[in-house]
């Protein structure tokens, strides 16, 4: 099997990080820490009801994550418009409908455009849809020759045949193994995907992408409490949902926002900011995603803010090597999604993302699900590999590396059917 760019990159970053940052992979060296209680307010008031959670605790936690972690969207767009670029009733060997929809986000005289690639089961209408970003363009997720190639900036990758930051025909289908399209369609779901680089190129340059739409003259970077790239991509997810609400082939009340790794962090933040998402799936999202920061296991806040200074808001850098000062942790991000269904998934060899920290985060968020009478994770002990826990708050750890596999999709489909009550 071809080594993906991701792995070469990750191994590179990990070894670099190890050398530069002294990364901890030893459970015995996890520091002692006090995990903030999701159901006690910053003023010390105990929350015992779902109403108090919604009215008192959720808003203050949300505000913290918004201003100190991911960053606030600095205003409203003037308009969002949609244009069907291409449609076909006989895609994927006649098994699916395909649509490619251009979304234009307008602010003043500036705009950003992105394309949603959508596959839907042929014979049904109003279907539930998984919505997820891809890392290297819509044409990488399938060998379908009709998928349009984005002109947006892309990270160079010899594995994916990308040089000079341009996407080309060479990478068509090279990420198909991460997207179980045939199974998704056969099971009666739709799949919608977007190249995240169309909303904001994934590089430390805040003068491009959607950020720029909101700048005052001469401004080149967001304010300290304003959005980084993760928050920008989260807004893109919401704008894609605006389109899906208009499409009668889609059941917009059952759109599941999904993401892997940095895009898993994005899916979690999108689920917290936009309660229209019916469910959220975080695949191997790690640091700044599902994993507890205070464990300092694998990637840490300092490492992530140094390697990817553009992902979070600038205020988040105050917590570099200073996790104890954080009055929150990532289990409270998960709790912001309650009572909606949430799936956190880890991979055994993905120690960089701290599988145990991802699991514990789901465990500690479960209290909030309990306030709504929903079942989360009840045992503090991690399940064995391939022993998924499919409650409203779900978790699994599978064998293997940082990736999205058919096993992951099988679980997501099965669980989504249960929690969103979708009949076969």
Q: Looking at 261, 285, 361, 366, which residue is catalytic?
A: 261
Pairing relationship of beta strands 190-195 and 127-134 according to DSSP bridges: parallel
Q: Which of 236, 286, 376, 388 binds ligand GTR (CB under 6 A)?
A: 286
User: Nearest to residue 257, comparing CAs of 191, 196, 330, 311?
Assistant: 191
Range in contact with ligand GTR (rule: CB under 6 A) among 6-14, 50-58, 212-220, 409-417: 6-14
Q: Which of 261, 283, 300, 330 binds ligand GTR (CB under 6 A)?
A: 261
**Is there a catalytic annotation at residue 402?**
yes
Site for ligand GTR in 128-157 (CB under 6 A): none
Torsion of CA 20, 24, 29, 35, to 10 degrees: 110
Q: How far is it, in rounded angstroms, from Cα 94 to Cα 97?
A: 8
Number of residues that bind ligand GTR (CB under 6 A): 10
Q: Is 262 in the site for ligand GTR (CB under 6 A)?
A: yes
Half-sphere exposure of 175 (CA within 13 A, CB side): 23
Overall residue count recorded for the chain in this entry = 424
Residues 6+ apart with CB under 8 A from 385: 348, 397, 398, 399
Taking the complex as a whole, the smallest distance from the CB of residue 87 to ligand GTR amounts, in Å, to 32
Taking the complex as a whole, the smallest distance from the CB of residue 177 to ligand GTR amounts, in Å, to 15
Q: CB burial class (10 A; 0-12, 13-18, 19+) of residue 357? A: buried
What tokens does 5 get?
């760019």
Taking the complex as a whole, the smallest distance from the CB of residue 262 to ligand GTR amounts, in Å, to 3
Q: Is 229 in the site for ligand GTR (CB under 6 A)?
A: no
Range in contact with ligand GTR (rule: CB under 6 A) among 5-13, 83-91, 143-151, 378-386: 5-13
Phi-psi category of 35—alpha, beta or left, where left has phi over 0 and alpha has psi -120 to 50?
beta
Closer residue to ligand GTR in complex, CB, 311/369: 311
Site for ligand GTR in 303-332 (CB under 6 A): 304, 307
Q: How far is it, in rounded angstroms, from Cα 396 to Cα 345?
A: 5
User: Nearest to residue 148, comparing CAs of 169, 129, 132, 125?
Assistant: 169
Q: Which of 198, 299, 354, 403 binds ligand GTR (CB under 6 A)?
A: 299
Q: Is 416 in the site for ligand GTR (CB under 6 A)?
A: no
Q: How far is it, in rounded angstroms, from Cα 38 to Cα 334?
A: 10
Range in contact with ligand GTR (rule: CB under 6 A) among 62-70, 100-108, 183-191, 299-307: 299-307
Structural contact between residues 83 and 101, judged by C-beta atoms closer than 8 angstroms: yes
Q: Is 6 in the site for ligand GTR (CB under 6 A)?
A: yes
Q: Which of 13, 35, 80, 106 binds ligand GTR (CB under 6 A)?
A: 13
Closer residue to ligand GTR in complex, CB, 11/85: 11
DSSP string, 5-32: HHHHHHHHHHHHHHHHH-----GGGPPP
Closer residue to ligand GTR in complex, CB, 156/387: 156
Q: Which of 287, 336, 389, 397 binds ligand GTR (CB under 6 A)?
A: 287
**Is there a catalytic annotation at residue 165?**
no
Binding footprint of ligand GTR on the chain (CB under 6 A):
6, 10, 13, 261-262, 286-287, 299, 304, 307
Catalytic residues, by residue number, are 261, 402
């Amino acid at each position: 099997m071809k080594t993906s760019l991701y792995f070469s990159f990750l191994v590179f970053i990990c070894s670099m990080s190890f050398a530069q940052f002294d990364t901890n992979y030893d459970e015995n060296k996890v520091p002692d820490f006090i995990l903030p209680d999701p159901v006690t307010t910053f003023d010390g008031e105990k929350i015992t009801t779902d109403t108090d959670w919604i009215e008192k605790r959720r808003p203050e936690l949300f505000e913290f994550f918004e201003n100190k972690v991911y960053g606030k969207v600095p205003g409203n767009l003037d308009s969002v418009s949609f244009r069907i670029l291409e449609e076909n009733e006989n895609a994927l060997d006649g098994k699916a409908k395909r649509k490619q929809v251009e979304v234009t986000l307008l602010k003043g005289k500036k705009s950003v455009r992105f394309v949603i690639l959508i596959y839907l089961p042929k014979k049904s209408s109003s279907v539930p849809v998984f919505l997820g970003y891809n890392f290297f363009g819509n044409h990488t997720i399938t060998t379908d020759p009709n998928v349009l190639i984005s002109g947006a900036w892309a990270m160079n990758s010899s594995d994916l045949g990308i040089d000079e930051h341009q996407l080309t025909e060479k990478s068509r289908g090279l990420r198909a193994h991460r997207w179980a399209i045939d199974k998704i369609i056969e099971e009666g779901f739709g799949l919608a995907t977007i190249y995240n680089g169309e909303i904001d190129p994934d590089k430390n340059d805040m003068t491009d992408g959607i950020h720029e739409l909101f700048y005052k003259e001469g401004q080149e970077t967001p304010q300290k409490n304003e959005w980084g790239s993760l928050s920008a991509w989260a807004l893109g997810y919401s704008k894609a949902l605006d389109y899906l609400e208009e499409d009668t082939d889609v059941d917009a009340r059952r759109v599941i926002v999904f993401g892997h790794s940095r895009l898993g962090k994005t899916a979690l933040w999108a689920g917290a900011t936009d309660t229209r998402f019916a469910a959220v799936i975080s695949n191997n999202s790690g640091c700044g995603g599902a994993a507890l920061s205070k464990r300092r296991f694998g990637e840490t806040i300092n490492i992530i803010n140094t390697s990817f200074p553009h992902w979070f808001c600038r205020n988040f850098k105050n917590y570099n090597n200073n996790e104890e000062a954080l009055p929150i942790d990532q289990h409270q991000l998960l709790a912001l999604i309650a009572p909606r269904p949430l799936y956190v998934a880890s991979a055994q060899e993905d120690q960089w993302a701290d599988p145990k920290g991802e699991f514990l985060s789901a465990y500690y968020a479960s209290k909030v699900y309990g306030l709504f009478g929903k079942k989360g994770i009840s045992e503090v002990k991690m399940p064995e590999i391939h022993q998924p826990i499919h409650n409203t708050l779900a978790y699994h750890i599978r064998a293997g590396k940082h990736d999205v596999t058919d096993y992951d999709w099988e679980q997501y489909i099965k669980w989504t059917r249960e929690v969103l009550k979708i009949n076969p």
